[in-house]
Chains A and B, each alone.
Chain A
């Protein structure tokens, strides 16, 4: 690891101020991606601003027809939250499938979506559930938030405060894990709610998470596994790497979509 200054602000306002004034800072949330990245010397921030201990960011709030989750809430806490399990069980299920138990004790929802790893799970949930991402500056719709692989709409001195998920009528997530890394080779989150029908695909797209409109249209006609079972996804624009070809991932999208719709009906 290269040297850096370590700052542990005690309030979110303080963190935002530090982020705005440091030379080349990075926010440290759960650190489950960032610390391994630093260990590999793949990043060299001047300052690490540690927001992992900010209590004001760690909460789950049920509010009418939505749930709001603080950016600093760990995957472990989301996965066992009675509020989340009741209103959006698919989201609790997804949180419980991230990494392994030790990673889930540290990793946070804010960190996951700010990093926007193309194989991360939460971005798919945000997109499919039409989540609202509240930052220290504004509200960003999920559709506008994820702008490309490891890219988001966040400005350099902007911090995610909380994410609001409206209750879906039906939702489920199906993931095909890479057998070694356990990251999503392909993950598909399907959801149906007042905002319409959405199918979000993670792990496959060259630009990170995206919506599969072809499947959304099919599910709008009939919310059944059969509606998506025969859709052939084009391999163009999908990732090809040592773990699988674009064609293989294209095939997995259909299989995962089918499984997700099936799961949403049970």
Chain B
């Protein structure tokens, strides 16, 4: 089995994986980072979004071997020194979740979105969240949370 080394949340993480192991499974099963959720088998739900070299990707549509030598940020890596990331704070403040299953993917997508488009409006947030499915909230508070986080980070 190939050995890989991935920088995950600022720390070097090594492991042996099957070539067919998905990045999502490497994060969850090998590294125990279960904050990254897997909500579907078809790469449609977005619950597993992480940052790969700074860009939002579905970790269920990338092989772990492809991440060899790359930098990955998962939801566990958002908090710095016990301080929640502005996106995490905004999701808490605006109740941007109900069951919480989609939340890690939503937040990682939001972090990426605010990086790319700091000046957000509601329409843009709704368009940009199209790859993240939420079955509880009707998206309303998620959109509010993303807008508030963007405002906070300006």
- Interface size for B (C-beta < 8 A) is 29
A100 touches B18 (CB 8 A): no
A1 to chain B, nearest CB (A): 4
Residue A242 lies at the interface, judged by CB distance under 8 Å to chain B: no
| Interface: A31 (CB within 8 A) | yes
Which residue among B43, B62, B132 has the maximum number of chain A CB atoms within 10 Å of its CB? B43
User: CB of B66 within 8 A of chain A?
Assistant: yes
| Interface flag for A32 (CB, 8 Å) | yes
Q: Tell whether, in the assembled complex, residue B46 and residue A102 are in contact, meaning their CB atoms are under 8 Å apart.
A: yes
Q: Which of B2, B19, B49, B109 has the most CB of A within 10 A?
A: B19
Chain A residues contacting B18 (CB-CB under 8 Å) are 3
14 examples of A-B residue contacts, CB within 8 angstroms: A6-B65, A31-B66, A35-B61, A35-B62, A35-B63, A50-B63, A52-B66, A53-B66, A99-B131, A101-B56, A101-B109, A102-B58, A102-B61, A105-B56
Chain A residue with the shortest CB-CB distance to B68: A8
Judge if A221 is at the interface, Cβ distance under 8 Å: no
Chain A: interface size category: 20 to 34
CA distance A100 to B55 in the complex (A): 13
A1-B42 Cα distance, complex, nearest whole Å:
12
A137 to chain B, nearest CB (A): 27
Given A32-B43, A100-B46, A105 and B55 touching (CB < 8 A)? yes
Give A182 to B112 CA distance when docked, in angstroms: 21
